[in-house]
Structure 1
Amino acid sequence: MDIAIYLHALTALFVIIDPIGAALIFNSLTNGSDSKHRNIMAVKAVLISGVSLILFGNYGEALFSHLGININSLRISGGLLLFYTAFNMITKEAEFSSKGGQQDISVFPMSIPLLSGPGTLTLAILLFSHTSEISGAIAVSMAIISTLGLTLVLMLASKYLKKVIGRTGDEILRRFLGVILAALAIQFIYDGIKNFAL
């Protein structure tokens, strides 16, 4: 496994998935649910997201190629989409909507769009497209599993996390991660334009 690729992918995925923010939103969405239901929703959301990211990351580029879409076009459009996501992270208020009850929130909104939304799926394709060897693909896959594993742990402990970090702490962290994601997005756009020119 390529450690450099793993760390790069881990950083990018941590920034866009935001495990702490996802756990706080999960806590608000499962307010009033019993522990068993919360655990099932957390595991299902992470499993669905992990399978989606790894499959789409590995085969998304082939799909776009079949449709006649250049990978550099995807880098530019994906960079713009990631920048839009980063802009929203920095400027908009976090939405904590709580309906309570025993509703199935594993697919929507936890998996899509929170954990494996358009921005994350695009990032997965871009990360896998930068790897030409099997060790790189394994490194990106492990980064996805690591990030979602951390997210699962934080979701399972979200009641305690909410008490520790609070709304203010999450706001500060989300905006800081938004700035990092914006820089990453600009890098993707730059790479796409540079490769088009070659």
Structure 2
Amino acid sequence: MNWQLFGEVVVTLFVIMDPPGTVPVFLALTGNRRPAERKRAAWEAVAVAAGVIAVFALFGQTLLDYMHISLPALQGAGGLLLLLVALELLTGKADHPETAAGTNVAMVPLGTPLLAGPGAIVATMVFVQDSDGGWDHLALVLGVVVVLLCLWASMRFSVVLLRVLKESGILLVTRIAGLLLSAIAVQLVADSVRAFVEGAG
């Protein structure tokens, strides 16, 4: 197996998907739910992220070409979606359980675009294009699995913080998560605009 490629995949996706950075957002979105629901949300978010990455790894470029969608456009859309979620966290709209009734935060925004965002999708597509042969593909798959397991562990065991932070602490974490998430969203949109400008030039 190509251990060098495995290491590159793990390091690259770990930095992009940022398992420790998902903890405050996960707590903010699931803090008012029962422990069993939070555990299920962690699994579902990772499963959705895995599915999105797998689809784009296999068919991403073909799908984008068919729909005439550029990678900067995908990046900008992900940024705008994250910005909407960030505003809900900052304004306190996400603090009330009734506002989230019937919604599955594990799918959106946790699974995508937070975990399986434009950065992770593009990086995986590049790795697939540069890989050569079955052993490279195996290294790529194992690298993605390792990062996804790290993401699950960070969310699964973040519930321990709930016992320490209590309700007021979760409120503070929610506001901080909203601020961080809004910064990520703005950066995604800015990178998208920059890519469009450079492409036009």
Following the alignment from structure 2 to structure 1, what is the Cα–Cα distance between the partners of residues 68 and 109? 31
Determine the structure 1 residue equivalent to 2:55: 55
Deviating runs (4+, > 2 A) in structure 1? 61-69, 95-103, 159-164
The answer to whether residue 120 in structure 2 is matched with residue 120 in structure 1 is yes
TM-score normalized with structure 2 length: 0.64
Following the alignment from structure 1 to structure 2, what is the Cα–Cα distance between the partners of residues 68 and 135? 32
The one-letter amino acid of 1:120's match is: A
Determine the structure 1 residue equivalent to 2:40: 40
Counterpart of 1:99 (choices 95, 99, 120) is 95
CA shift, 1:23, in A, is 2.1
Determine the structure 1 residue equivalent to 2:148: 148
Deviations 1:54-95 (A, max 9, x none): 2211222344566799xxx97xx69xx6xxx8xxxxxxxxx6
Determine the structure 1 residue equivalent to 2:21: 21
Deviations 1:144-196 (A, max 9, x none): 111111111110111335769x97xx99xx9xxx9xxxxxx9xxx9xxxxxxx
The answer to whether residue 6 in structure 2 is matched with residue 10 in structure 1 is no
CA RMSD across the alignment: 3.8
Relative to structure 1, the CA distance from residue 68 to residue 99 in structure 2 (aligned partners, 3 Å threshold; closer, same or farther) is: closer
Relative to structure 1, the CA distance from residue 133 to residue 158 in structure 2 (aligned partners, 3 Å threshold; closer, same or farther) is: same
Following the alignment from structure 2 to structure 1, what is the Cα–Cα distance between the partners of residues 58 and 112? 19
CA shift, 1:124, in A, is 1.2
The one-letter amino acid of 2:106's match is: S
TM-score normalized with structure 1 length: 0.65
Following the alignment from structure 1 to structure 2, what is the Cα–Cα distance between the partners of residues 2 and 146? 15
Q: Percent identity?
A: 22
Relative to structure 1, the CA distance from residue 132 to residue 158 in structure 2 (aligned partners, 3 Å threshold; closer, same or farther) is: same
Unaligned runs of at least 5 residues, structure 2: 80-88, 166-171, 185-190, 196-201
Give the aligned length. 162
CA shift, 1:30, in A, is 0.7
What are the within-5 Å matches in structure 2 for residues 132-147 of structure 1? 132-147=132-147
Following the alignment from structure 2 to structure 1, what is the Cα–Cα distance between the partners of residues 8 and 147? 12
Unaligned runs of at least 5 residues, structure 1: 86-94, 179-184, 190-198
